[in-house]
Amino acid sequence: DVKVTQSSRYLVKRTGEKVFLECVQDMDHENMFWYRQDPGLGLRLIYFSYDVKMKEKGDIPEGYSVSREKKERFSLILESASTNQTSMYLCASSSIVRGYEQYFGPGTRLTVT
């Protein structure tokens, strides 16, 4: 079974803090994704990565950066957290070998106060 794990289920941070959200997958998938989900807005793609050290902006990259130093790990970084980044963050992975079937982690509920 594909497993995608995220470093925290719940996280509370203060405005201005640097925040790291970590995602790890164990199926050698080349593609990894970060989304945020907000009520009424659905899931929106923040960043994705096709390979190690490769990244591409999604629909809402402002205020975020990412890092992919190893194939299995994709990190989302909030350089200076703001209250409007309070959200549910979901990581996912997929592979062309499996027809791009996407698998999601359990999510991280981030609250910025």
Partner 1 sequence: GIQVEQSPPDLILQEGANSTLRCNFSDSVNNLQWFHQNPWGQLINLFYIPSGTKQNGRLSATTVATERYSLLYISSSQTTDSGVYFCVVGPYNQGGKLIFGQGTELSVKP
Rg (CA), the chain: 13
Judged by CB under 8 A, the chain residues 33 through 62 that form the site for partner 1 are: 33, 37, 42-43, 45, 48, 50, 58
15 or 50: whose CB is closer to partner 1? Answer: 50
54 or 65: whose CB is closer to partner 1? Answer: 54
Near partner 1 by CB under 8 A: residue from 7, 8, 67, 102: 102
Asked if residue 33 lies in contact with residue 92, where contact means CB atoms within 8 angstroms, the answer is yes
Helix/strand/coil for 58:
coil
CB of residue 6 to partner 1, shortest distance in Å: 10
Amino acid at 29: H
Between the CA atoms of 23, 53, 48 and 46, what dihedral angle is there, to the nearest 10 degrees?
80
Measured distance CA(13)–CA(41) in Å, rounded: 23
Residues that bind partner 1 (CB under 8 A): 31, 33, 37, 42-43, 45, 48, 50, 58, 88, 90, 92, 94-96, 99-104, 106-107, 109
